[in-house]
Amino acid sequence: MAIMIGVLYAAGIYMILRRSMVKLIIGLTFLGNGANLLIFLLGRITKGKPPIIPSDASLLSDVYADPVPQALILTAIVISFGLQAFAIILVKKAYEVVKTDDMDQMNNTDRDDHEG
């Protein structure tokens, strides 16, 4: 799991550093998923021990899985889904308007003679 997260982060950063806009989005998605899995891992995964109190007890006596990381990941997934959907549409629109997929061509707004 730790290795997979590492691979996701590395691949994400590699993709962000590419010049293509599509790869940029894929990279950001990888990074987001890597972060989600990281929460999962650092929240101490416990297998097969749901945090449910049996009806004849009032406390959990055994080791149990922490439900909080799952709630966090669920929230983070929903958020990143929305943001990625927006980013993909933005890339599509930017491609239509600027007519290039190459980030190096997108430097018009940085030029000094640029009229805003």
Residues at the site binding other proteins, with contacts judged by CB under 8 A:
12, 16, 21, 24, 28, 31-32, 34-36, 38-39, 41-44, 66, 68-69, 72, 75-76, 79-80, 82-83, 86-87, 90-91, 93-94, 97-98, 103, 106, 108-110, 112-116
Torsion of CA 83, 87, 90, 95, to 10 degrees: -170
Q: Identify the DSSP state of 66.
A: -
Return the number of the residue (27 or 56) whose C-beta is nearest other proteins: 27
CB of 48 to other proteins, least distance (A): 21
Alpha-carbon distance of 93 to 23, in angstroms, equals: 16
CB atoms within 10 A of CB 111: 8
> Nearest distance from residue 54's CB to other proteins, in Å?
21
Query: Quick one: 56 or 113, whose CB is closer to other proteins?
Result: 113
Taking the CA atoms of residue 70, residue 26, residue 89 and residue 95 in that order, the dihedral angle to the nearest 10 degrees is 170
